[in-house]
Every structure is written in C-alpha cells, then in structure tokens.
C-alpha cells in the first residue's frame, strides 16, 4: 500500500513539473515587437519571432515596446498627413 502511494505521488510531482516547465517555455517564446503595416500604421504586437514588417524589437515587456513605438513612429502634427510612400 505504501509503495502505491509513493508511486502516485511521484507521478503527480513529475506531471506537475512538466506542466510548469511547459507553461514557462510557451510564455518565454513570445516577445513584443513594433510592427508597421502597409498603410504606415504602427502597432505593438506579441509574436514568436520577427516578421518583415518589424521595425523594432524584441522587447521583454509591452511597456518597453510602446516606448519604442513612440520613438520610431511619431504621430504627424494635427491637420497634416504623411505623404504616401510609393510601393515598388
């Protein structure tokens, strides 16, 4: 009876450890990036890796990415629009 309880406890501990490590690995994969789309609109996104539209990143927190977005993509003055960029 004691051997059965020890086996169940060991299985529970191994399973709990596996779930904890898996959750941490999934959380660590995604990082914050500043993305600029084809219309010139910048946004902060959480991605697993860079994309062709990435202009800054990776960042560990959303706050850091938001600060970088303000630096890399300043908003135009009110009433003025940015000129459209020509696509090749």
Tell me, yes or no, if the pTM score tops 0.75. no
Q: Is residue 83 situated within a structural domain? A: no
Vertex 26: Cα angle to 20 and 32 (nearest 5): 135
The reported pLDDT for the residue numbered 29 is 64
Domain count, the chain: 1
Q: Is residue 9 situated within a structural domain? A: yes
Which of the two residues, 56 and 86, has the higher pLDDT score?
Answer: 56
Q: Tens of pLDDT along 51-60?
A: 788 888 788 8
The residue range of the domain holding 65 is: 2-72
Q: Is residue 47 situated within a structural domain? A: yes
Q: Is residue 24 situated within a structural domain? A: yes
Q: Is residue 84 situated within a structural domain? A: no
The reported pLDDT for the residue numbered 80 is 55
Q: Does the pLDDT of residue 46 top 70, yes or no? A: yes
Confidence of residue 48 (pLDDT cuts 50, 70, 90): confident
Q: Is residue 42 situated within a structural domain? A: yes
Instruction: Measure the N-to-C terminal CA separation of the chain; round to a whole number of Å.
Output: 75
Residue entry with tokens 């779930």: 19
Query: Can you spell out the DSSP letters for 14-60?
Result: HHHHHHHHHHHHHHHH-EEEEEE-TTS-EEEEEESS--TTEEEEEES
């Amino acid at each position: 009876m004691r051997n059965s309880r020890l086996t169940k406890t060991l299985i529970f501990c191994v399973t709990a450890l596996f779930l904890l490590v898996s959750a941490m690995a999934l959380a660590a994969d995604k990082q914050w990036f500043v993305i600029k789309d084809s219309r010139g609109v910048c946004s902060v996104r959480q991605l697993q890796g860079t994309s062709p539209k990435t202009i800054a990143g990776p960042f560990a927190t959303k706050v850091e990415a938001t600060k970088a977005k303000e630096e890399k993509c300043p908003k135009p003055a009110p009433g003025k629009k940015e000129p459209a960029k020509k696509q090749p």
